[in-house]
Each structure stands twice: as C-alpha cells, then as structure tokens.
A and B are shown apart, each in its own frame.
Chain A
Amino acid sequence: QKEVEQNSGPLSVPEGAIASLNCTYSDRGSQSFFWYRQYSGKSPELIMFIYSNGDKEDGRFTAQLNKASQYVSLLIRDSQPSDSATYLCAVNSDSGYSTLTFGKGTMLLVSP
C-alpha cells in the first residue's frame, strides 16, 4: 500500500514569511514527485515537480527532495495571502506504474 503523508494543518504564516510544507512517502521506488495547489472549491493545479535529489527552484517556490529519507518539501518564499490554499503532495512510482498517489494535503493560511 503506497502512502503519502502530509500534515493537514492549517499552517499559518504571516505575509512575507517563508512557508514550509512537508511530505513523506512509503514507496522507496518512487521516482517523481509533484506539488499541486488547490484553492477551495477548485481543482488541483500543478505548481512544481521534481525528479532528482536536491533542490529545484521556480520563482518563489522551491521543491526539495531527499530520496534516502523519503521526504519531499515545498518552500514558498515571500508568502502572499493569495498563496492561501491546500497544497497536495503526489508521488509517482517507477516501473511504468503511471498513477499518482496523493497525500491529504496541507492547508496554508497566509495572513496579511
């Protein structure tokens, strides 16, 4: 049973701060890792993906992957109230098994 664990939150940060969202996964064979943002009542929107150990930066977002620790994180710098949403971590296994396993998501609240 592949599992993806996230703290449900809410994670509250003030505007301008760094928000750190964390995710652990059970399948050591997992190869690809995705972060989706989901606003209330809307569909998930892909914001970042990472395949290799280390950091990947895209604007205010940085994804970090540590396969040895089976841990992936998302950092949001200079957090804005518009970043308030639920952030879903998703993991794709190897061997051509092409489906994503999602975590329950972490709710982020950025206060002005």
Chain B
Amino acid sequence: GAGVSQSPRYKVTKRGQDVALRCDPISGHVSLYWYRQALGQGPEFLTYFNYEAQQDKSGLPNDRFSAERPEGSISTLTIQRTEQRDSAMYRCASSLGSSGGEQFFGPGTRLTVL
C-alpha cells in the first residue's frame, strides 16, 4: 500500500500567519509521530498519538504548536502566529504498533516563514 503522505510538501508563509500541516499515515498504523528536523540534525520529537489519543506532547516548543488526530488516522499539526524560527522540515512518521519502534517516515513539509 501507499506510504506516509504529507501535505503540503512546501509551505511559505508570512510571520504571524497560522499554518496547518497534514499527515496521512500508512493504513492501519496505530501510532503517528511528528518530528521537526533542522539541516544537519536528526529528527527532533514533537508529539505522538496512539489512535486518536495524544500520548505525549512534551516536544512541542510552545503553546503556538498543537496537533490533533480526531479519527485516529489523518493528523494535523497547527502552528499559530508563525515566527521565522519555526522554519524547518516537519516530518511525520507512523508505526504499526504502539511500542514506538519501526517508524516509517513521510516526505516531510518544508516550512519557510518570511
């Protein structure tokens, strides 16, 4: 079947605007993870869901960041009042089980805040 998909692939926005990034996990995958990856760094954990329940949001940088997965499938990461420091690659991953291992990544959304 299809892999993890993310949209949009590229998003350019002006400082102060809100953005919504979408992730569609592999069908049947229980867990969904959001990461942020800066150039030359490994992915940095933001938050994750088991089904529709947000299990851990400790990696969200501040309260401008939020995420939801209302039906246990597609997830949206929302950044309110964007700032230039939010510019990064945002990656979504999913895993079949809830143990956290063997995560499969989507292509990412490159966010640029002007």
Q: Do A and B bind each other?
A: yes
Interface, chain A (partner B; CB < 8 A): 4, 8, 32, 34, 36, 42-46, 49, 88, 90, 92, 96-105
**Bound state CA distance, A37 and B59, in angstroms?**
23
Which chain B residue lies CB-closest to A90?
A: B42
Interface, chain B (partner A; CB < 8 A): 31, 33, 40-45, 48, 50, 55-56, 59, 91, 98-108
Are B106 and A34 neighbours in the complex by a CB distance under 8 Å?
Answer: no
Are A102 and B101 neighbours in the complex by a CB distance under 8 Å?
Answer: no
Which chain A residue lies CB-closest to B31?
A: A98
Q: Is chain A's binding surface mostly helix, strand, loop or mixed?
A: strand
Are A43 and B101 neighbours in the complex by a CB distance under 8 Å?
Answer: no
Q: Is chain B's binding surface mostly helix, strand, loop or mixed?
A: loop
* B55 contact set on A, CB distance < 8 A: 98
Given the interface pairs A98-B31, A98-B55, A99-B33, the reply to whether A49 lies near B101 with Cβ below 8 Å is: yes
Are B101 and A32 neighbours in the complex by a CB distance under 8 Å?
Answer: yes
17 A-B pairs (CB sep. < 8 Å): A34-B102, A36-B105, A43-B91, A46-B104, A49-B101, A88-B43, A98-B50, A99-B45, A99-B48, A100-B33, A100-B43, A100-B45, A101-B45, A102-B43, A104-B42, A105-B40, A105-B41
Which interface residue of A34, A97, A100 has the most chain B CB atoms within 10 A?
A100
CB distance from B101 to the nearest CB of A (A): 5
* B33 contact set on A, CB distance < 8 A: 99-100
* A101 contact set on B, CB distance < 8 A: 45
* A92 contact set on B, CB distance < 8 A: 99-101
Given the interface pairs A46-B103, A49-B102, the reply to whether A98 lies near B48 with Cβ below 8 Å is: yes
Are B42 and A46 neighbours in the complex by a CB distance under 8 Å?
Answer: no
* A100 contact set on B, CB distance < 8 A: 33, 43, 45, 100-101, 103
* A104 contact set on B, CB distance < 8 A: 40-42
- In the complex, besides A8-B40, A32-B101, A99-B56, 15 extra interface pairs with C-beta distance below 8 angstroms are A36-B105, A45-B105, A46-B103, A88-B43, A90-B42, A97-B56, A98-B48, A98-B99, A99-B48, A99-B100, A100-B101, A102-B42, A102-B44, A104-B40, A105-B40
